[in-house]
Amino acid sequence: MTKGMKQRIIEQAAPDLEKIEIALEHHLNPNVELVRQIASHLLFSGGKRLRPLLMVHSARLCGYNNDFEIEFSIIFEYLHAATLLHDDVVDEADIRRGKKAAHTKWSAPKVVLTGDFLMALSLDIAAKTREPDIISVIAKITRDMSQGEIDQLSKKGKLNLSEEEYRKIIERKTAVLIQGTCQSGAILAKAPKEKETALSQYGFHLGMAFQMADDLLDYTASAKELGKNPGADLREGKLTLPLIHSLSNASQKDKEWMQDAIAATLFNPDQFKKLKEKLYTYKGIEYTKDRARDHVKKAKACLNDFDDCQSKQLLCLIADYSIERKV
Amino acid sequence: MTKGMKQRIIEQAAPDLEKIEIALEHHLNPNVELVRQIASHLLFSGGKRLRPLLMVHSARLCGYNNDFEIEFSIIFEYLHAATLLHDDVVDEADIRRGKKAAHTKWSAPKVVLTGDFLMALSLDIAAKTREPDIISVIAKITRDMSQGEIDQLSKKGKLNLSEEEYRKIIERKTAVLIQGTCQSGAILAKAPKEKETALSQYGFHLGMAFQMADDLLDYTASAKELGKNPGADLREGKLTLPLIHSLSNASQKDKEWMQDAIAATLFNPDQFKKLKEKLYTYKGIEYTKDRARDHVKKAKACLNDFDDCQSKQLLCLIADYSIERKV
């Protein structure tokens, strides 16, 4: 079923996806070669182009019928890539999208500066929309994400993270960007305020579901599926909902064992397997799946007032896919 | 004479400078405490507020008579601070404005993220101008600066840097930001294109003069005046015009001695003194002063077609001051 869902999305989106790739390459071309190399390393390593698709179809759903939605949709792919480059330096993660993270191939300063450069590209295209509200959205995204990352850095290794704190973290880490992307599609189409809000809310819930699914995959997927070893969050001292919920349900003895395991941050495969079992026993996996499903349901409900059309179908399909995917 | 110039600028600008400080503090307030601390460390450590003043008076010179020029002028102070934070991480410089650089007090990732946050604040205010052309200017500044820094990283320690390469470096490092600041003042005032171009060119030449003066001070000022040890550029492997010009004029023997000294990157005070003497002997100091003066002359000439007024006088005074200052 999942594979079918992914294929249906790709089939429907194929002509757009092709144009999106061309636009992404086109804007990188006339620049310093090293910058192009570092940016390309991340940009063309199998990203799903989720954000461009979301902006294109949010705009079309609101009746946008000029020819620039593809060009403008890459605003948020560049912005996303910029934040990933900075995050990789911040997190010192070694693997991104199954490839070595940029900062393991180039020095951290060069990666930071390439992030700034992609931010500039994003802005340059955003300015061409002539919509200052889209700039405000980008500013809000950047502000929330940078503050969120700093906040998360301070909370690294915190063993008693609450579900509310977790929600705030993933909202700023993932949801605000997807939310802003969908909202910007509506702004581009000069949609009435209630449609802009509906698409913004759709994006928010989709982003929350998407990140919860990601956090689940870090425990449930195989290394091959993930393109990196599972358990990465834990090794980086990041507690996510499956664990947070399980900790709150666990017996005192199991809770202490889990906390010790987390504090140790180094796991052998047996320990990781045992920890995973606890996440099933104490229903952390199930609970997180349920919460992600809630968000998918809410995301789709936000689209209720829009007329049925291909874009609406695709946005619903993307919402369903966000929690069914294996990568 | 110099002190008189500085005092005249401060006297004329005092009421604006006070409002600029308030605006800079105001926008930092409602945010994560740690972000505020890191940003404040740099922002409130004796910056001259040159960029806000330039935008305010560029706008007024073009007849802007709304009340928002102070609010909008901090766009470029935040953007400047954002680039300084990233540059400090990139250059691993320990001292900034006579204080410890932020990344020596906080981890490099936190400083990078605070830079992103200040970029977001800058954008947020820029969006409120409702002038997409100002966003394009910010995008161009960010693109040029990040590419310039990466380019400069690749050229670190290069012993045969040409004057042309040096000009390209300082253009992207300093001039584009000051240029964009003045241009944005004109855009804000909805000035005709020729006035926008004139102010943009004024800013370009001012920026070039300003950076050349900075590069001179790194050799000619005392540690007390600079707030850091002179010779910092050289220790970071950055060749600037006084040295580049002297190298091209030096005898083979002296050239080799200078190149060896640069390559060693570690100087004792005697060696540094001897190197400085060569810069006078081979007229690197004089030549750089002359080139800086050329730019000041050109900067002031760009203002010829504007009617005489207080803003014009102040912009001329700032141009003169840019090369006469001791810090």
pLDDT digits (tens, 9 = 90+) for A26-71: 998 766 788 888 888 888 877 789 999 999 999 999 999 888 889 9
Residue A159 confidence (pLDDT):
84
Q: Is the pLDDT of residue B30 over 80?
A: no
**Distance between CA atoms of B53 and B314, rounded to whole angstroms?**
9
Confidence of residue A100 (pLDDT cuts 50, 70, 90): confident
List of E strands, chain A: 95-96, 99-100
* Mean pLDDT of the B265-269 span: 69
> Which residue did the predictor score with more confidence, A116 or B159?
A116
**B150 vs A110: CB contact, 8 Å cut-off?**
yes
User: Has the ipTM of the complex gone over 0.95?
Assistant: no
Confidence of residue B325 (pLDDT cuts 50, 70, 90): confident
Q: Which of B184, B114, B58, B178 is nearest to A127 (CA)?
A: B184
Confidence of residue B279 (pLDDT cuts 50, 70, 90): very high
What percent of chain B has a predicted confidence (pLDDT) above 90?
A: 64
Q: What domain range is A81 assigned to?
A: 2-324
DSSP-assigned beta bridge partners for residue B99: B96
Confidence of residue B250 (pLDDT cuts 50, 70, 90): very high
Average model confidence (pLDDT) for chain B?
A: 90
Residue A240 confidence (pLDDT):
94
| Residue in the block written with tokens 């026993």 | A281
Residue A58 confidence (pLDDT):
98
pLDDT digits (tens, 9 = 90+) for B106-154: 888 889 999 999 999 999 999 999 999 999 999 999 999 999 998 888 8
Q: CA of A75, closest CA in chain B: separation in Å? A: 12
Q: Is B288 helix (H, G, I), strand (E, B) or coil?
A: helix
Residue A158 confidence (pLDDT):
84
- CB B190, CB B136: distance < 8 Å: no
pLDDT digits (tens, 9 = 90+) for B61-112: 999 988 888 999 999 999 999 999 998 777 776 666 667 777 778 888 889 9
Taking a contact as any Cβ pair under 8 Å apart, which residues of chain B between 39 and 98 contact chain A? 86, 89-90
pLDDT digits (tens, 9 = 90+) for A187-227: 999 999 999 999 999 999 999 999 999 999 999 988 777 77
Where is mean pLDDT largest: A81-90, A306-315, B8-17? Answer: A306-315
What percent of chain A has a predicted confidence (pLDDT) above 70?
A: 95
* Mean pLDDT of the B253-266 span: 84
H or E element in which residue B100 lies: strand B99-100
- CB B202, CB B170: distance < 8 Å: no
**B133 vs A127: CB contact, 8 Å cut-off?**
yes
- B130 in reach of chain A (CB within 8 A): yes
Among B89, B120, B128, beta carbon nearest to A112 = B89
Count CB atoms within 10 A of the CB of residue B224. 8
- A128 in reach of chain B (CB within 8 A): yes
Tokens for A100, please give them.
């070595």
* Mean pLDDT of the A137-144 span: 96
Q: Which of A25, A67, A72 is nearest to A53 (CA)?
A: A72
Confidence of residue B241 (pLDDT cuts 50, 70, 90): very high
Residue B108 confidence (pLDDT):
86
pLDDT digits (tens, 9 = 90+) for A290-327: 999 999 999 999 999 999 999 999 999 999 999 988 76
Residue A107 confidence (pLDDT):
84
Q: CA of B63, closest CA in chain A: separation in Å? A: 23
**B139 vs A123: CB contact, 8 Å cut-off?**
yes
Identify the CATH number of the domain in which residue B59 sits: 1.10.600.10
Could you tell me which chain A residue has the CA closest to the CA of B150? A110
* Mean pLDDT of the B195-210 span: 98
Q: Is the pLDDT of residue B289 over 80?
A: yes
What percent of chain A has a predicted confidence (pLDDT) above 90?
A: 64
Q: Which of A32, A113, A176 to mutate to test the interface with B (most CBs of B within 10 A)?
A: A113
Question: What residues of chain A lie within 8 A of the CB of B147, using their CB?
Answer: 31-32, 35, 113, 117
Q: Which of A15-29, A227-241, B50-64 has the lowest mean pLDDT?
A: A227-241
- B111 in reach of chain A (CB within 8 A): no
Q: Which of A182-186, A268-272, B98-102 has the lowest mean pLDDT?
A: B98-102
Confidence of residue B217 (pLDDT cuts 50, 70, 90): very high
The count of structural domains within chain A is 1
Predicted model pTM: 0.92
- CB A10, CB A17: distance < 8 Å: yes
Among A127, A133, A153, beta carbon nearest to B109 = A153
* Mean pLDDT of the A91-96 span: 68
Side-chain-side CA neighbours of residue A302 (13 Å): 26
H or E element in which residue B96 lies: strand B95-96
Q: Which of A275-289, B26-40, B103-117, B161-175 has the lowest mean pLDDT?
A: B26-40
- B133 in reach of chain A (CB within 8 A): yes
| Residue in the block written with tokens 């070669």 | A33
* Mean pLDDT of the A231-239 span: 82
Q: Is the pLDDT of residue A181 over 80?
A: yes
Q: Is the pLDDT of residue B309 over 80?
A: yes
**B123 vs A132: CB contact, 8 Å cut-off?**
no
Handedness of CA A95, A99, A103, A105 (dihedral sign): positive
Residue A160 confidence (pLDDT):
87
